[in-house]
Amino acid sequence: MSYSHPDSLRGQVVVVTGAAQGIGKGVSAALLERGASVLLVDIQDDKLSATAAELQAEFNAGERLSTLSANLRDVDSVPQIVAAAVGTFGTVHGLVNNAIASNEPKPFVDITPTDLALGYDVGPRATFLLMQAVYPVMVAAGGGSIVNLGSGSGTGGEPKFGGYAAAKEAIRGLSKVAALEWGRDNIRVNVICPFAESDGVKLWKQLAPDDYAKAVGRVPMKRIGDVRTDVGALVAFLLGADSTFLTGQTIHVDGGIGSFR
């Protein structure tokens, strides 16, 4: 059965953070399209409600779609997220740690400890804590799959994104360790590094158009990725039964721009 089959994720429960817009929204759409039940998590209440209404209308998802407003900088939000997923759907089979926050772009010498803390709290710290919290639930379910969001800004470097790159590389490091330890529990952990038309990339295009244009020009496929059909489809594959022997990997879904990394 292909990962793109409309029932390929039927019966699977997935938590997606940063789901109100951009890549998180695209991923959530791809999962719902394939039959999964999805808990959309975001701090932006209005955007979260609008996204949920849009996805509900498109997929007639019914009880397969639920939302939770949460601030990932608050460590108490982590058990609330897992409890909401279990309380609504009964268990958790998949976790997509997509949420990130950043005050960049800015020159390296201008990055402040506050900037670093913002990226760290929403990125690697929240990712780490959510992985810990969901682990026993996945073990009880017989296994699961976690997809964490890295970035080519970390694997290859990107001027004016020093704090963001540091946060994303921290996520890659903890993902590798978890993959090694949790394989025996049938829990897979992989990282994707997308180059797609997310809201963050749109902002980058606005603030640094020359850098953005150069980056797109380096893509062998000469286009930027779609958050749903390119990135979301890959996440659906990594969460599904077609990738059960794939773990500990970093996959660049970027049209080939990161092929040397």
Catalytic residues: 164
CA–CA dist 93, 13 (Å, integer): 5
From CA 220, how far away is CA 172, in angstroms rounded?
A: 24
CA distance 176 to 93: 19
> Coil, strand or helix: which one is 93?
coil
**Which residue, 43, 155, 47, 55, is CA-closest to 99?**
43
Q: Tell me the C-alpha distance between 50 and 68, whole Å.
A: 13
Which segments of 141-198 does DSSP mark as H helices, in order? Answer: 152-155, 162-182
Which residue has 């109100």 as its token pair?
Answer: 20
